[in-house]
Amino acid sequence: MYKIVGKIKLAEGIDRFEIEAPLIAKKAKAGQFVVIRVNEYGERIPLTIADYDSSQGIISLVTMSIGKTTYMLSKLKRGDSIRDVVGPLGKQSEIERFGKVICVGGGVGIAPVMPIAKSLKNTRNYIISIIGAKNKASLILADEMKEISDEFYICSDDGSIGFHGFVSEKLNELLEDSEKSSDSDLRKDINRVIAIGPAPMMSAVCSVTKPYSIKTIVSLNSIMVDGTGMCGACRVEVGGETKFVCVNGPEFDGHKVNFNLLMLRQKMYLNEEKKALDLYEEKCGCKMLEQKNGKTC
């Protein structure tokens, strides 16, 4: 059992959990993830290690409630326990001195981009962060991202905070401006873009950076089951080859990823997922939507 020693609500439907997991905290590196099971009968779901403190033996997970398991997780409180936490899994991020790196985070994707940005900052890279959310109320970790960034931009789909538009549009604007700038070093120095968020967002970011030939790393959120390379559930196509996100990733060269296939595979179990949530809500006697509106069960 893994004890929850802290829980903070970051935004509506987004929680940050601090979990006692000393062995994982000791080994964790930026970019890696864990697979958790809320209880003995629970589904296994992958979650990125948003932060880790090896001296305290604690890892942080940031979760967005979008279905049965993440909804069950959101109901746990400080002092409760999670049945299984397996990890750290996946390859760690490539952390080197690249020069200027643009870190792009969308929605709950801001949480996994943060430890990567932090490690890159500690390796003396110049960090330009672009983070975005649907609106001001659902934006998370803005202060923390600002603190580790040399340049910092916020975007919102509805314009309620920062730039009115998608993170990919802000990125496009920055790259266009740097093209026009007399300071030709500006774009030349941008050696890497890291983008984490929903698949359509990562795909859009890759379309923006491709004409500039800026290496773009994305972290893929495919469906996973075992997380150890055995079941094949997480397969994706990268550069025309089949790769397993859990062992070959989760980070890949975004310009080589077949995003259409990824998005198709993400929708594979929509009916089953809806059924599982409906059954759970029936049993629990309250609707996820009602909880979002402030009613609790």
Q: Among 16-24, 187-195, 230-238, 284-292, which window interacts with ligand FES (CB under 6 A)?
A: 230-238
Q: Which does 6 bind (CB under 5 to 8 A by kind): ligand FES, ligand FAD, none?
A: none
Residue whose structure tokens are 């003995």: 40
Q: Is the peptide bond before 250 cis (omega within 30 degrees of 0)?
A: yes
231 lines the binding site for ligand FES (CB under 6 A): yes
Cα(186)–Cα(167) distance, integer angstroms: 19
Q: Residue ranges of the alpha helices (H) in the chain?
A: 22-27, 68-74, 110-122, 142-147, 167-180, 185-188, 199-209, 245-248, 259-266, 270-284, 288-292
Q: Which is nearer to ligand FAD, 209 or 219 (CB)?
A: 219
Query: Do the Cβ atoms of 146 and 152 come closer than 8 Å?
Result: yes
The encoded tokens of residue 19 equal: 């979990």
Tell whether residue 252 is a contact of ligand FES (CB under 6 A). Answer: no
Name which of ligand FAD, ligand FES, none residue 63 binds, using a CB cut-off of 5 to 8 Å depending on partner kind: ligand FAD
Choose the contact partner of 111 out of ligand FAD, ligand FES, none; CB within 5 to 8 A by kind: ligand FAD
Q: Give 16 or 187: the residue with its C-beta nearer to ligand FAD.
A: 16
C-alpha separations of 104 from 132, 153, 168, 264 in Å: 8, 10, 8, 23
- Rule CB under 6 A: which residues touch ligand FAD? 33, 43, 45-48, 62-64, 66-71, 108, 111-112, 221-224, 245, 250, 266, 273, 277
Q: Which is nearer to ligand FAD, 23 or 264 (CB)?
A: 264
Q: Is 227 in the site for ligand FES (CB under 6 A)?
A: yes
Stretch that binds ligand FES, among 57-65, 97-105, 221-229, 283-291 (CB under 6 A): 221-229
Nearest-angstrom CA–CA distance, 90 and 246: 5
Q: How many CB atoms lie within 10 A of CB 256?
A: 15
Residue 234 near ligand FES by CB under 6 A: yes
Do 89 and 34 meet the contact criterion of CB atoms below 8 Å apart?
yes
Please identify, using beta-carbon distances, which residue of 161 and 277 lies nearer to ligand FAD. Answer: 277
Q: Min. distance of Cβ 46 from ligand FES in angstroms?
A: 8
Work out what residue 112 binds among ligand FAD, ligand FES, none; the CB cut-off runs from 5 to 8 Å by kind: ligand FAD
Binding to ligand FES by residue 225, rule CB under 6 A? Answer: yes
Choose, by CB under 6 A, the member of 101, 102, 117, 246 that binds ligand FES.
246
Q: Are the beta carbons of 212 and 100 closer than 8 angstroms?
A: no
CB of 16 within 8 A of CB of 8?
yes
Contact footprint for ligand FES (CB under 6 A): 224-227, 229-234, 244, 246
